[in-house]
Structure 1
Amino acid sequence: METERFEALIDAILAIIITIIVLEIPLASTGSWESLLELKYEFIIYAISFIVVFNFWNFNNNLFSIVNRIDWKVIWSMGLSLFIMSLLPYLTTFVAENFNLFLPQFFYGLSYIATAILSKLISKFLKESDPGNIALQVVLEKDYIFMMTIVLVSIGMIIGYLAYPPAIITSCLISIVAIWIVPKVLN
């Protein structure tokens, strides 16, 4: 199966997710700085959610630019990953309204870990569906970034449970930065 229509579907779903997230940001009650400052948690979690969705889009956009063929395993695992991403608007609001509580932060981190696990699975399925694509095989050879994400967010969850719940979303953000820095350092 060719990938162009599938890529367009991924782009459309992610655009809708970002739109819903931004529409969930409440308006300031007045035009004052104090009123805007009251919304600081909403803006923080929105920014992190935007970065998460953008990073997911960027990774898949770069990856699918070299993919020639996909099969049903790729489609369904990506569909499941997009389903989990579609929960981000709800989780963003849940965290924003309960910023210093563990459970909302935990579910946010759990969705991030689930997406990383599914991305690892998608990589495996892509390699199987397009075995003659040497560029794809080389790019997906080092998929340690998914394990790094899982480990970093898991550490954030432990810190979040024991001491400071916002450590979980902070670890999600740190894992994104690490995804872009670590491969450059290792090469």
Structure 2
Amino acid sequence: MITVIVLEIPMAVDGSWGALLDIKLEFIVYAVSFIVCFNFWNYNNNVFSMVNKIDHKVIWSIGIAMFFLSLIPYLTTFVALNPDAFLPSFLYGLDFIIVAILTIFTINALKNSDKANIALQIALADNQPYVTTIVFVLFGMIVGYFIYPLAIVIACLFSIITLWLISYYKKHG
């Protein structure tokens, strides 16, 4: 998915700095989309390094989550082209919420499919980071609706940073 995202960046028309600056919005969209997709990939890579068994519920929940995750580049571009409009930011935030909810479903499916795996059960014992994401984004939606639409996107990105911090402090805290 990340490879496909980079194909969205148009080639600079010539070898000048000005030509590169002309595509800065597309590069910013790519960078944001990359961070979101990398975060999802990194999480799944870490979790699946512990998994011994999966079932169809795990596969389908991840597949559906990846579908919604694949909308991030489109929605990021939609927001970038319409930064003062509520709908693009709302859809971006809604996508984040859907992926967070699907991650909770995936966690529960993984725990149910691999019940004997104590390490997995301990690692997936807490849904707090995903509930936190949902709360941040809902708060961003309220602020975005009444005050500043980009507050939703800021809340989404802030939720990623929060996930990283929660993960770090659980390991080192």
Shared fold, TM over 0.5: yes
Query: Which residue in 1 is equivalent to 2:127?
Result: 143
Q: CA deviation at 1:45?
A: 2.6
Deviations 1:55-82 (A, max 9, x none): 0000000000000000111111111111
Query: Which residue in 2 is equivalent to 1:106?
Result: 90
Are 1:49 and 1:88, in contact at CA under 8 Å, matched by a contact in 2? yes
Distance (whole Å) between structure 1 residues aligned to residue 99 and residue 87 of structure 2: 18
Distance 1:167 1:33, change over 3 A: farther
Deviations 1:129-177 (A, max 9, x none): 0000000000001121000111111112222222222222221111111
Distance (whole Å) between structure 2 residues aligned to residue 181 and residue 88 of structure 1: 22
Distance (whole Å) between structure 2 residues aligned to residue 51 and residue 152 of structure 1: 18
Are 1:48 and 1:169, in contact at CA under 8 Å, matched by a contact in 2? no
Q: Number of residues paired by the alignment?
A: 171
Gapped regions of structure 1 (runs ≥ 5): 1-16
1:160 counterpart = 2:144: yes
User: What is the RMSD computed on CA atoms of the aligned residues?
Assistant: 1.9
Query: Which residue in 2 is equivalent to 1:92?
Result: 76
Percent of pairs with identical residues:
56
Q: Which amino acid aligns with 2:6?
A: V
Equivalent runs, 1:72-91 vs 2, <5 Å: 72-91=56-75
Bigger relative contact order, structure 1 or 2 (CA pairs below 8 A, ≥6 apart): 1
Query: Which residue in 2 is equivalent to 1:62?
Result: 46
Q: 1:171 aligns with which of 137, 155, 172?
A: 155
Query: Which residue in 2 is equivalent to 1:21?
Result: 5
